[in-house]
Structure 1
Amino acid sequence: MRTSVGTSTRSARPGLTLAAVAVVQFMVSLDLSVVNVGLPEIAAGLGFSAVGLTWVIHAYALTFGGLLLLGGKAADRYGRRRVLLLGLGVFGLASLVGGFAQEPGHLVAARAVQGIGAAALAPAALALLTTTFPAGKARVRAFGIWSATNAAGGALGVLIGGLLTEYAGWRWVMFVSVPMAACALALVWRGVVGGPPPARGSRPDVLGAVLATAGMTLLVFGVVRTDQYPWTSPVTVTTLAVAVALLAAFVHVERTTARDPLIRLGLFANRSVAGANAYNLLAGAAIASAFYFVSLYLQRVLEMGPALTGLMFVPLALGVIAGSVLAVKLGYRLPPRTLLIIGGLLTATGMAWFGLISPDGAFVTDVLGPSIVAGVGFGLCLGPVVSIGTAGVAHHETGTASGLLNSSRQIGASLGLAALGTAAQHRTGQTVTPETLNDGYALGLTLSAGLLVAAVLIALTVLRRADPPSWAEQTDDRSTGTPAVARRKDAPA
């Protein structure tokens, strides 16, 4: 009987496991951005209102981020392979149904179910990667590939969405995930073996997941609606108060539940976990907002078509991939913390450069340069933040830690888009012209740079200088199967 991770991974097929995780991560990341360029066509096709249209993005990001902790806990308790297969089935079916949507509510519901499937997929896939490649050069290479596919999915999603919208119709931005889900399903079925028998104990805390998701949804809803209801209006105050109460109830439930809590709050006593997730939340907020603003700038200010807009995101995509590859090379020499600082500063520089856009600008002068700088910087961050956020976490909590990282990024994306989009809307005002739209988008991009500067400050003040010293120096704790940090000679036992 297999009783350890080491036994399980030796009988697995690491190459197929890595391929499956790469396809899953590409698909999940792609679906965060693939609808962006197609939003005008989606609105025209289904009759979305201006406010309702944003929920095509929020429905996915919120259910994804809000349920990721439950997904991570389920992966730990019921087995990563089992949860991965279930999530792929749900995701693929929701994508198919969404492509046939006839009303706004149909598409928003399909996107929400996609988010549920992604919440099962992402932590299970990342936990498989962590345990299949626990140490050394193989781990560095595996995280590098994961980072590249994660980055490519988000960045190329805009290109793919633009091409599909213009030449095949907006419904294909939903259909495109169906063959990818089928491919990943086949890879998981053939290449990933079942782990240890499912743990027997208390059930995962579903109530906590519901409270967290409902609280975050109301929080985003309250912020988004400030374009109609001011911050001091009874509607906004009540909505935000209920959201805060639900999130406080979530924390209380996690501390007192008799069930298996979604997250052991003591995890946040680990500075690596706390710092990596705070960094991830701010970076996710900045990047998601930047994708949104740049896409709208190209289409509504420079009047580019969907396909051409998508094509103009290619330098950003290539920059992210290049940054991810560079992070692997530097990962043998530099601590992940150092890479987060360098990458965050580069990305902030690119965002500040984006903030200089003008209504009579052009791709070469206003978009190309900042796309490359921001892309390379963001690529440098992706692998190191995962390595830090899962370092030193016990094997039975790797799924939870992975889910927490994904959750912080998606929740950050939704909150960031809500807050920065609202700020941009206030700057634009009631008179909508290319000039006023440009002013709003420029403000949003400048604020994105500020969020990344805050993320760098967190890396400087919260994360330890040598925790872990480098990806390549991480070793496998054979007693638990947990990826551990190679101890310095002066480190306490």
Structure 2
Amino acid sequence: MLKSTPTTVFTELSGRAWAVLAVLCGAIFLEGIDVAMLNVALPSIRADLGLSTGTLSGVVSAYVLGYGGFMLLGGRAADLFGRRRVFLFWLAVFVLFSGLGGLATSGWMLLTARFVTGVAAAFMAPAGLSLITTNFAEGPVRNKALLVYAGVAAGGFSLGMVVGGLLTALGWRWVFFAPVVLSAVLLVAAIPLLRDGEGPQAVRGRIDVLGALSVTGAMMLLVYGVVRLEHAGDGPGVTALVFLAGAVLLALFVIQERRTPEPLVRLGILRSANLVRTNLIALLFVGSFAGFQFLATLYFQELRGWSTVQTGLAMAVIGIDAILAPVLTPRLVDRFGNGRVIFGGVALAALAYLLMLPTGLDRAYITMLPALLLLGVAFSLVYGPLTIAATDDIDEQEHGLAGGLLYTAFQFGFALGISGVTAVHVAVLGSGASGIDAVRTALLVLVIAAVLAGTIGLFGLRRTAPAAEPALA
């Protein structure tokens, strides 16, 4: 049912506004920290449950499949059924299945829990983003809220290894139980606090069933194909067929969206050059960062023999983004605009990866610290402004869809980044090179991805009127 203006938006960051923001930030922090924590706990999970290598890899892939496969449907569901309703329901699902993961006694229980948790995140993330864009007045207040929100998300993404290492030291099941406790507290707080915000609570219409099935199937197959790239020599023909099937379903989805009067995804939204550029930068930037996390884990733990706690603490400095994003980034965005801030952050990321290239087995940590600090600063400058740019010039009734597109780009980037560096790392090792040579070669992939993201950002800047630069274009 279409309802107009159910509540008044926040025009300043009052006490209630901060409380609403805290709930939404807590949820996106859970989403950001979830995968990174689990990665650190995988060896302990394998030892306790006796999982095969394939099942262990599937524990990570199941979450990615659920998240990437259902993200567009999740974004549209928030627009159709109400952002608050979708957010609360799937937060409850997240609580239940995170708990199931902690209680798992077999591989299938863990795989099921991770898949459904990924699906829950796919619905929560775009609903949470659109709750911010519709609850906070457009302009400085909304930008501040989005940057705080993104800073917390980035902090979870970068601090996951630290928290995961500490929790795994207590027992791997705490990697699942700790999010259960936090998400349960958030759910209790969210029920009285959250409102759907200004504008329509839900868009009049129905779910495009054929479109939902085809795009969800396509996204899952494409993500699975990307995950399979990690094993370059393992059935390349099957991987090609997976990509082909995904492409066929994607083509079916496009045909369906063109002919149905109530499309799941209005294809016209992709005519926004700013939206397309934002999502391409998101994919490349997050992909390079995810690949770096993976390579850093290999380097510190496998090549240098550091413990999970030592590795997590070594990477903790990247978490400076959680401080800088809400404090420094809003001032820079106000002065220079989203586009220039994003470009500057991507350039710093490329420089950070270049500084890591000479890394050897005996390199002192203090000499790597500048690169890690630069990466934390880069994340604080890019992640938040991307969330603002994602909904810039997009009608409010499609903010859920725009958020879904952005988080789909994030998830594809995450999967592609890890799979890309893994494929290169394995190929170099297979040629007889040393482990450190394989890490250095894979680092080049990250440099290339960051340079491409910067080029796309610069391309948008050159087409932006100097008088007004709210986003990338």
Flag whether TM exceeds 0.5 (same fold).
yes
* Alignment partner, residue 441 of structure 1: 439
Deviations 1:168-213 (A, max 9, x none): 1111111111012112212211211255554442224421342233
What is the DSSP-based 3-state SS (H/G/I as helix, E as strand, rest coil) of the residue aligned with 1:9?
coil
Q: Does 1:69 align with 2:72?
A: yes
What is the DSSP-based 3-state SS (H/G/I as helix, E as strand, rest coil) of the residue aligned with 1:54?
helix
- CA separation of 1:330/1:217 partners in 2, compared to 1, >3 Å: closer, same or farther? closer
Aligned residues between the structures: 464
2:205 aligned residue (171, 190, 201): 201
**1:228 deviation in Å?**
2.6
* Alignment partner, residue 480 of structure 1: none
Q: Which deviates the most, 448-457 or 238-247?
A: 238-247
Quick one: which amino acid aligns to residue 421 of structure 1?
T
* Alignment partner, residue 241 of structure 1: 244
Write the distance in 2 (CA, Å) between the matches of 1:470 and 1:134. Answer: 18
* Alignment partner, residue 50 of structure 2: 47
Q: Is this contact kept in 2: 1:32–1:57, CA < 8 A?
A: yes
What is the DSSP-based 3-state SS (H/G/I as helix, E as strand, rest coil) of the residue aligned with 2:89?
helix
Matching of residues 192-231 of structure 1 within 5 Å: 192-194=194-196, 196=200, 198-204=202-208, 205-229=211-235, 231=236
* Alignment partner, residue 299 of structure 2: 297
Q: Is this contact kept in 2: 1:8–1:193, CA < 8 A?
A: no
What is the DSSP-based 3-state SS (H/G/I as helix, E as strand, rest coil) of the residue aligned with 2:434?
helix
Q: Does 1:103 align with 2:106?
A: yes
Deviations 1:345-376 (A, max 9, x none): 0011112222322122332233x221101110
* Alignment partner, residue 351 of structure 2: 349
Q: Is this contact kept in 2: 1:211–1:250, CA < 8 A?
A: no
CA RMSD in angstroms, aligned pairs only: 2.5
Write the distance in 2 (CA, Å) between the matches of 1:219 and 1:335. Answer: 37
What TM-score do you get using the length of structure 1 for normalisation?
A: 0.88
Q: Is this contact kept in 2: 1:66–1:212, CA < 8 A?
A: yes
Write the distance in 2 (CA, Å) between the matches of 1:460 and 1:271. Answer: 13
* Alignment partner, residue 402 of structure 2: 401
- CA separation of 1:362/1:188 partners in 2, compared to 1, >3 Å: closer, same or farther? same
Write the distance in 2 (CA, Å) between the matches of 1:221 and 1:2. Answer: 40
Q: Is this contact kept in 2: 1:18–1:142, CA < 8 A?
A: yes
Write the distance in 2 (CA, Å) between the matches of 1:466 and 1:324. Answer: 26
Matching of residues 322-333 of structure 1 within 5 Å: 322-323=324-325, 325-333=327-335
**1:47 deviation in Å?**
2.6
1:287 aligned residue (272, 286, 289): 289
Write the distance in 2 (CA, Å) between the matches of 1:468 and 1:122. Answer: 33
Q: Which deviates the most, 348-357 or 68-77?
A: 348-357
- CA separation of 1:257/1:106 partners in 2, compared to 1, >3 Å: closer, same or farther? farther
What is the DSSP-based 3-state SS (H/G/I as helix, E as strand, rest coil) of the residue aligned with 1:262?
coil
- CA separation of 1:160/1:329 partners in 2, compared to 1, >3 Å: closer, same or farther? same
What TM-score do you get using the length of structure 2 for normalisation?
A: 0.91
Quick one: which amino acid aligns to residue 231 of structure 2?
R
Q: Does 1:141 align with 2:144?
A: yes
**1:86 deviation in Å?**
0.6
- CA separation of 1:416/1:461 partners in 2, compared to 1, >3 Å: closer, same or farther? same
- CA separation of 1:93/1:262 partners in 2, compared to 1, >3 Å: closer, same or farther? same
Q: Is this contact kept in 1: 2:349–2:374, CA < 8 A?
A: yes
Q: Which deviates the most, 54-63 or 287-296?
A: 54-63
Write the distance in 1 (CA, Å) between the matches of 2:444 and 2:52. Answer: 27
- CA separation of 1:101/1:466 partners in 2, compared to 1, >3 Å: closer, same or farther? farther
Q: Which deviates the most, 274-283 or 351-360?
A: 351-360
Deviations 1:246-275 (A, max 9, x none): 3333333333345x4332111111111111
Write the distance in 2 (CA, Å) between the matches of 1:197 and 1:71. Answer: 16
What is the DSSP-based 3-state SS (H/G/I as helix, E as strand, rest coil) of the residue aligned with 2:335?
coil
- CA separation of 1:191/1:337 partners in 2, compared to 1, >3 Å: closer, same or farther? same
Q: Is this contact kept in 1: 2:147–2:385, CA < 8 A?
A: no
Q: Which consecutive residues of structure 1, in runs of 5 or more, have no partner in the other structure?
A: 475-484, 486-493
* Alignment partner, residue 9 of structure 1: 9
**1:8 deviation in Å?**
4.4
**1:84 deviation in Å?**
0.7
Write the distance in 2 (CA, Å) between the matches of 1:281 and 1:14. Answer: 31
Quick one: which amino acid aligns to residue 25 of structure 1?
I
Q: Is this contact kept in 2: 1:320–1:377, CA < 8 A?
A: no
1:359 aligned residue (347, 358, 361): 361
Write the distance in 1 (CA, Å) between the matches of 2:156 and 2:119. Answer: 18
**1:65 deviation in Å?**
2.2
- CA separation of 1:254/1:55 partners in 2, compared to 1, >3 Å: closer, same or farther? farther
- CA separation of 1:312/1:202 partners in 2, compared to 1, >3 Å: closer, same or farther? same
- CA separation of 1:130/1:198 partners in 2, compared to 1, >3 Å: closer, same or farther? closer
Deviations 1:150-178 (A, max 9, x none): 11111111100001112x11111111110
Write the distance in 1 (CA, Å) between the matches of 2:21 and 2:134. Answer: 11
- CA separation of 1:298/1:338 partners in 2, compared to 1, >3 Å: closer, same or farther? same
* Alignment partner, residue 135 of structure 2: 132
Q: Is this contact kept in 2: 1:428–1:440, CA < 8 A?
A: yes
* Alignment partner, residue 465 of structure 1: 464
* Alignment partner, residue 38 of structure 2: 35
- CA separation of 1:148/1:164 partners in 2, compared to 1, >3 Å: closer, same or farther? same
- CA separation of 1:325/1:444 partners in 2, compared to 1, >3 Å: closer, same or farther? farther
Write the distance in 2 (CA, Å) between the matches of 1:227 and 1:356. Answer: 29
* Alignment partner, residue 491 of structure 1: none
- CA separation of 1:244/1:419 partners in 2, compared to 1, >3 Å: closer, same or farther? farther
Write the distance in 2 (CA, Å) between the matches of 1:249 and 1:363. Answer: 51
- CA separation of 1:358/1:10 partners in 2, compared to 1, >3 Å: closer, same or farther? closer
Quick one: which amino acid aligns to residue 213 of structure 2?
L
Q: Does 1:308 align with 2:310?
A: yes
* Alignment partner, residue 417 of structure 2: 416
Q: Is this contact kept in 1: 2:144–2:326, CA < 8 A?
A: no
Deviations 1:108-149 (A, max 9, x none): 221111111101111111001111113233123212211210
Q: Which consecutive residues of structure 2, in runs of 5 or more, have no partner in the other structure?
A: none
- CA separation of 1:80/1:323 partners in 2, compared to 1, >3 Å: closer, same or farther? closer
